[in-house]
Amino acid sequence: MLQFCKKCKHHSFLGVKYCPKCLAELSWAPASGRAELFSFTRVYQKSHPGFAADIPYLVAVGRTPEGPLLALRLVNTEQARVGDALEVHFISNGDDEPTPVFRLASG
């Protein structure tokens, strides 16, 4: 899901109530679940105990076809290239709510 402005058809993912383009109230709309790899980094710092066992891991910034950039972990590869096709998946760690992650698109 992405935030969507019915008035000016702008998608955003800012977590705000009003459209940054026209100030109309935003609603939510289904998203494609796809993105193109815009940038990425490999994380070596232990910033949260829950990720300690996964170090090093990739964090990718993907540009969605709807427009917004999303920053999520990239989980199914150690090798990534700008421009790679990505898909959003959700992983579950027990009792927590599912976490969105990027995976390289399967084709």
Is the CB of residue 61 less than 8 Å from the CB of residue 45?
no
- Cβ atoms of 16 and 26 within 8 Å: the answer is yes
- Would you count residue 103 as binding Zn ion (CB under 5 A)? no
Structural contact between residues 66 and 93, judged by C-beta atoms closer than 8 angstroms: no
**What are residue 25's DSSP bridge partners?**
18
In the chain the first and final C-alpha atoms are separated, in Å, by 22
Q: Does 5 bind Zn ion (CB under 5 A)?
A: yes
Binding mask 10-49 for Zn ion (x = CB under 5 A): x--------x-xx-x-------------------------
Least Å distance, CB 12 to Zn ion, is: 9
- Which listed range, 8-16, 65-73, 74-82, 87-95, lies at the site for Zn ion (CB under 5 A)? 8-16
Chain contacts with Zn ion (rule: CB under 5 A): 5, 7-8, 10, 19, 21-22, 24
